[in-house]
């Protein structure tokens, strides 16, 4: 689990989120945003101690509550690039944007298709195991979906969770015909935590923003973006410049 945190300011992880993470190993990525006007070394030079202190505070908050903490401090021009690089370096299964939340009663899990579903459900299992929260499995279809693909997808997901020991009472399913982002956000109003799958950005996504990042911007609560580890991982740009 990768938890990216902006260490240029103060931050504390909400307690309910800590409960969700109790059985996971967390990599805390403290990133310090650097504008293009300055060299990252310049901000490191002036703010390394502060940044380190913020990161240590968060790591201390987590240690003991979760199953192991690793911390990484990076000065970067581009948060997303750093998040991607650190996630693949530490083979994180998901990236958590903690947001703010007072209690976790329900998870919302939109499923796009069969790809990446296993990883998503594995994470959902572990999150449900550590709390009493319920889960809503969600699928948005473009049209009427006469062949019932959406139904089948949700059915097999429910089966999967039940098989792995989650009480069927805790699982809801919802089929929506709204456009994906608005549908997810509408359904999200009733839930506290969002678990979504990472998508390979299409050209259109690259220009207009990916679905997950749009959701990330609009969602208030914690969002887990599950990485697609089956896909090809490009290591080429994963240049590390460790200090």
Partner 1 sequence: MSGESSQLERNLGFIEAMTLGGGTMIGAGIFILPGLAAEGAGPASAISFLIAGLVALLAALSLSELATGMPIAGGSYHYVNRALGGLFGSIVGWGMWTGLMFASAFYMIGFGQYIVVPLAFLDGRALIVLLGIVGLGLIAGINYYGTDESSGAQNIMIGAEFLVVLVYVALGAFYVDPANLQEFAPTGPTGIVATTGTVFVTYLGFEIIATVAGEIKRPGELIPKTMVLSVVSVSLLYAVIMLVSTGVVPYRELGKSLVPVSDVAAISMFGTVGVGAVTVAAAIAAISSSNSSILAASRVIFAMGRDSLMSERLNVTHDRFRTPHRAILTTAVVTGGLILLGLRVQEIVALLAQVASFSFLVTYALVHVAVVVFRTADPDEYDPEFELSGPLYPTVPILGVVMAGLVVSQMRPPVIAVGIGIVALGAGWYVVYARDRAVEEGLLNDALDKFRDDLPAGVPGSTATASTEDRYTVVVPVANPETQHGLLRLAAASAQAHADERRPELVAINVVEAEASSRRNVESDRVDHQRALLSNVHDITAEIDIGVQTRALVTTDAGEAIVEVATEEAADQVLMGWNGTLARNDHVFGTTLDPVLADAPCDVSVVEIQSETVGRPVALAGPGPHAPKAAKRAVEFATVQGTTPVLLNVQPPAPDGDIDPVQRGHEAIAWVADRADIDRENYDTQVIVEEDTESAILDAVDEFDTICVGLSEKSARSRILFGSIAERISRRATGNVAIIRGAEGETPTEALVRYPND
Contacting positions for partner 1 (CB under 8 A): 8, 33-48, 51-52, 55-56, 59, 63, 69-78, 80-82, 85, 237, 239-243
Triad 116, 15, 224: Cα angle to 5°: 15
Nearer to partner 1, 63 or 177 (CB): 63
CB of 197 to partner 1, least distance (A): 23
Q: How far apart are CA 75 and CA 30, in angstroms?
A: 9
Cα separation of 135 and 138, whole Å?
10
User: Would you say 38 or 181 has its CB closer to partner 1?
Assistant: 38
* Per-residue CA distances from 44 to 13, 35, 54, 68 (Å): 24, 13, 14, 27
Q: How far apart are CA 167 and CA 170, in angstroms?
A: 6
Q: Nearest distance from residue 39's CB to partner 1, in Å?
A: 4
- Could you give the 3-state DSSP secondary structure of residue 102? coil
Output 45 or 149, the one with its CB closest to partner 1: 45
Minimal distance in Å, beta carbon 21 to partner 1?
Answer: 16
CB under 8 Å to 123, separation ≥6 — which residues? 93, 94, 195, 224, 226
| Residue closer to partner 1, measured from CB, 35 or 165 | 35
Q: How far apart are CA 191 and CA 100, in angstroms?
A: 13
Looking at the Cβ atoms of 81 and 228, the one nearer to partner 1 is: 81
At its nearest, how many Å lie between partner 1 and the CB of residue 233? 17
147 versus 237: smaller Cβ distance to partner 1: 237
191 vs 42: CA distance, rounded Å: 42
Q: Which CA distances in Å does 199 have to 13, 23, 111, 149, 166?
A: 26, 26, 11, 19, 27
């Amino acid at each position: 689990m990768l938890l990216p945190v902006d260490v240029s300011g103060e931050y504390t992880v909400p307690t309910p989120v800590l409960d969700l993470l109790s059985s996971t190993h967390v990599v805390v990525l403290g990133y310090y945003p650097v504008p293009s006007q300055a060299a990252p070394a310049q901000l490191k030079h002036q703010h390394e101690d502060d940044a380190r202190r913020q990161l240590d505070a968060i790591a201390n908050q987590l240690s003991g509550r979760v199953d192991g903490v690793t911390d990484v401090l990076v000065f970067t021009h581009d948060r997303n690039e750093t998040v991607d690089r650190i996630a693949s370096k530490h083979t994180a299964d998901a990236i958590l944007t903690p947001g703010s939340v007072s209690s976790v009663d329900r998870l919302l899990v939109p499923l796009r298709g069969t790809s990446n579903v296993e990883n998503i459900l594995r994470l959902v299992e572990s999150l449900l195991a550590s709390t009493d929260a319920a889960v809503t499995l969600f699928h948005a279809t473009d049209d009427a979906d006469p062949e019932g693909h959406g139904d089948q997808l949700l059915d097999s997901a429910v089966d999967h969770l039940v098989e792995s020991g989650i009480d069927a009472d805790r699982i809801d399913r919802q089929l929506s015909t709204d456009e994906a982002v608005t549908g997810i956000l509408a359904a999200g109003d009733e839930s506290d935590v969002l678990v979504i799958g990472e998508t390979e950005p299409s050209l259109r996504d690259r220009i207009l923003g990916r679905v997950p990042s749009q959701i990330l911007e609009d969602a208030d609560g914690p969002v887990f973006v599950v990485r697609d580890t089956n896909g090809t991982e490009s290591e080429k740009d994963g240049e590390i410049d460790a200090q």
